[in-house]
Amino acid sequence: MGVAPELARRRRARIAVSAVFFINGVLFANLVPRLPEVKDRLDLSNGGFGSAIAAMPAGALLAGLFAPALIQRFGSKAVASSGLVGLALAVAAVPLCGGWFALAGTMLVIGALDAVIDVGQNAHGFRVQRAYGRSIVNAFHGLWSVGAVTGGLLGSVAAGLSVPLGAHLTTSGAVCCAFAMLARRFMLDGPEDAERASVADVAIPSLRRAGRRTWHVLAVLGVLAACGAFVEDAGASWAALYLRDEVGATAGTVGLGFVVLHIAMTTGRLTGDRVVDRFGQRLVTVVGGSAVAMGMGFALALPSMATTIVGFAAAGLGVATLVPAVMHAADELPNLRRGVGLTIVSWLLRVGFLVSPLLVGIVADAASLRAALLRGVLAGLGIVLLGGAVDVPTGSQVEPDRLTT
């Protein structure tokens, strides 16, 4: 195959994977602004509604570990694209739920599909990255964030216009399904290891033969993933409470901590690939961990609106490339069946998101929210100390300087 057709194939695959990440971000976020309507229609208490929603992370933890087997059987291309179709159908089924059990069951399925899609889309994204021979995966994660914001806005507009929930989710789901199937046509064919540098790089298909060092590195990557979850959760779950209770912010400004963290994180992901290519993933990770520790420390040591905004923005920028880097490093570990390392760190990341709010809540009740959020500083220091674990080569069969965009 000539250079030009091969380059065109890889560009199409990159666009297709970008679309998959974006669609995945849109789908559930499109429902979030309308969840209060679901709660009211089913006449659920706060506790009942919360427990039904909690079935989503439970489903993710239960199903996520099955992703390697699915990838081995069907390929990451099919797992990611077909999974999105299933996710769209599951989200569209929410208006059909007639009670708590149906809603909890649907959320369980949504969480399970989301976890499998997450592994599939990242595995295929790393295939495309290896074909390019340089970092491109951070932009994929940035587009997921853009998709989540887009989905939230679409859901808000639909709610504001009083579009019936069923019609809204069916229409948006159908559009997402169509684009997912279109993207599948342009994703890479062939075995999962087709873009690796040589046969020697192909992992042997046995968990038993994974060396002690492989499992040690995987454990370190899991800790790094949890550190990333702790920082993101600080903005998602606690920034508004911190601004209200510790800083005294008004109702109209308490959401700014969450907003700036995610804007900074999305910006860092969309620009992170060039930075990683220039300075290396290890340096970017260590500097990012320093930014997290200093930013969170600044916000907590000098509580004010300005310091909190600056501190959370620094934390978001610092953690921007961490999760893609951890996933990439896990996917490149030797002596593991394809998808196993990626699946394990993805699973541990979800455990981090599940445990994080519980830990903060316990410490906040025992001491204060400021004391509890010091965990963000510790997470940043942990990233600095363990950041060397993400230092892995991109790997490619081609000469990167001949196939660039």
Question: Looking at the domain assignment, is residue 201 inside a domain?
Answer: no
Domain match, 46 and 177 both: yes
Whether pTM exceeds 0.85: no
Q: Which of 152, 186, 220 is the C-terminal boundary of a domain?
A: 186
Q: Specify the pLDDT at position 210.
A: 55
Predicted confidence at residue 401, as pLDDT, reads 37
Residue 197 pLDDT: 59
pLDDT band at 353 (very low <50, low <70, confident <90, very high): confident
Cα separations (Å) of 62 from 109, 155, 278, 351, 378? 10, 28, 39, 11, 29
Tell which wins on pLDDT, 375 or 237: 375
Q: What is the pLDDT of residue 331?
A: 85
Confidence at 32, pLDDT banded by 50, 70, 90: confident
Predicted confidence (pLDDT) at residue 399 exceeds the cutoff of 50? no
pLDDT at residue number 254 = 80
Q: What is the per-residue pLDDT for 235? A: 82
> Residue 394 above 60 pLDDT?
no
* pLDDT tens-digit readout, 49-65: 888 888 888 898 888 88
Alpha-carbon distance of 83 to 138, in angstroms, equals 21
| Residue 225 shares a structural domain with residue 365 | yes
**Is residue 208 over pLDDT 80?**
no
pLDDT band, residue 224 (cuts 50/70/90)? very high
In this predicted structure, what is the pLDDT of residue 393?
A: 55
Residues 39-49 have pLDDT tens digits of: 999 998 888 88
Query: pLDDT grade, residue 1 (50/70/90)?
Result: low
pLDDT grade for 11, boundaries at 50, 70 and 90: very high
* 396 lies in some domain: no
Query: Is residue 92 in some structural domain?
Result: yes
Domain check: are 159 and 226 in the same one?
no
pLDDT digits (tens, 9 = 90+) for 297-307: 999 999 999 99
Mean pLDDT of 67-95: 94
pLDDT for position 259: 82
Into how many domains does the chain fold? 2
- Measured between alpha carbons, how far apart are the two ends of the chain, in Å? 18
Residues 235 and 146 in one domain: no
pLDDT computed for residue 350 by the predictor: 87
**33 and 182: one domain?**
yes
Among 126, 151, 186, the domain boundary falls at 186
In a domain, 199, yes or no: no
Of 393, 377, 391, nearest to 221 by C-alpha is 391
In angstroms, how far is CA 30 from the centroid of its own chain? 16
Greater pLDDT, 75 or 192: 75
- Tokens 């394990």 correspond to 344
The pLDDT tens digits of the residues spanning 164-203 come to 999 999 999 999 999 999 999 999 998 887 776 544 444 4
Asked whether residue 15 is domain-assigned, the answer is yes
Residue 356: the pLDDT is: 85
Assigned domain for 195 exists: no
- Residue 138: give the domain boundaries: 3-186
Higher pLDDT, 276 or 65: 276
At 82-121, the pLDDT tens digits run 999 999 999 999 999 999 999 999 999 999 999 999 999 9
Please determine, for residue 359, whether its predicted confidence score (pLDDT) is greater than 70: yes
- Residue 260: CATH number of its domain: 1.20.1250.20
User: Using one digit for the tens of pLDDT, what is the confidence trace for 279-300?
Assistant: 999 999 999 999 999 999 999 9
Mean predicted confidence (pLDDT) in 324-345: 85
Write down the pLDDT at residue 102. Answer: 96
Task: Work out the mean pLDDT of the chain and round it to a whole number.
Answer: 87
Average pLDDT over residues 374-399: 79
